[in-house]
Amino acid sequence: MNLEASLQRRWYGRPGWLKLLLPLEGLYRLVIALRRCAYRRGWLSVWRAPVPIIVVGNIAVGGTGKTPVVIALCAALRRSGFTPGIISRGYGASPAEFPYSVTATSTAADSGDEPLLLARRSGCPVVIAPRRAVAAQYLLAQHTLLAGKCDVIICDDGLQHYALARTIELVVVDAARGFGNGHCLPVGPLRESLQRLHSVDALLWNGAAHTDSSAALHKASSAALAHAEITCPQYAFHLSPTVVVHLATGRAVPAAEWAAEHPRVHAVAGIGNPARFFATARQLGCEPIEHAFADHHLFVASDFNFSEQLPVLMTEKDAVKCSELAADHFWFLRVEAALPDSLLTAITGKLGAR
């Protein structure tokens, strides 16, 4: 078992030997608390945009489903008459310079995989920069209010990026994994203490069966959350597989129909939580041969040298990096986030009130 797999097992189970690192966790918590205090007291500068900022983030490392939430939120805001734009750090991006405007024709090398996926799926302007405030300023300069554009900005990730003021904070949680063992890094997966959830606007439980927050907490989170007495609104949502798309041609087939024709597949996932993708493939009726890679993995042709010649099914996030590697048996699964109407009503209501 490699180090990453061992950490994941301990983070989302019993800490075991990681308890030896409790002093480091204490130091990490102290640094995070001091940093947040410095921004709240004005010792470090905070930039406030002239438009509302919605942060879609998480409190634990690893994949929780933020990207589909951002795409769904953009669509919902557009239906409500808003004109959203998206900003992101652009993890793994190497453009000629920052800030960088991501378009549907950008390359994953220039933009990073998630921003490129957002640009292709959302139809909204996307700007990346290591400093989110710089990205927001550039986005507004390129898409001005005078032109009737970009009256709300969605920040993909960035919950801990306090240099950018925000109007709404949404925290996405994987309902199957919850908050793991309840510890902060490096003993657990938390980027901040669960007490941070007192100040967010909503928790979004990816994969929870219903919106009964007490039941969702009991089933999907660690006991630590109950002790934190979090009272913010909580919503359940799920990711629905819609179509399987041929990577080389773009031909789309309904997901259930495709799975019926391809019962055995090589399932490839270089995301924060590959197990969720493999589970989705099984729910469709496939028997996946699992190939898990690190999050944001840069694929090369040798990664697909499998012994059996079967269809390759990958995530859409991985597909944006594999266009040049596409073979006739390469496909990707598209999923949609089904956000509850009550959440969207609450968000548009707060934006309207502002």
Whether residue 227 has pLDDT greater than 60? no
Query: Mean pLDDT score of the chain, rounded to an integer?
Result: 91
**According to the model, what pLDDT value does residue 226 have?**
52
Give residue 212's pLDDT band: very low, low, confident or very high (50, 70, 90): very low
pLDDT higher at 252 or 208: 252
The count of other CB atoms within 10 Å of the CB of residue 160 is 15
Q: What is the pTM of this model?
A: 0.92
Domains and CATH numbers, the chain: 3-237+340-353 (3.40.50.300), 239-338 (no CATH)
> What type of residue is 353?
A
pLDDT digits (tens, 9 = 90+) for 74-108: 999 999 999 999 999 999 899 999 999 999 999 99
pLDDT of residue 256: 96
Q: Phi, psi (5° rounding) for residue 229? A: 55, 50
Exposed e or buried b for every residue in 84-94, given b needs 16+ CB within 10 A? bbbbbbbebbe
> Residue 246: which residues within 8 A CB-CB, separation 6 or more?
252, 253, 330, 331
Name the token pair of 229. Answer: 């007495």
CA 209 to chain CA centroid, nearest Å: 20
CA 256 vs. chain centroid, Å, equals 25
Task: For the chain, give the percent of residues with pLDDT over 90.
Answer: 85
**Res 213 pLDDT > 50:** no
Residue 10 to residue 246: CA distance in whole angstroms: 37
pLDDT at 67 over 60: yes
Res. 343: pLDDT tops 70: yes
The pLDDT > 70 percentage for the chain reads: 92
Is 59 a residue whose pLDDT tops 60? yes
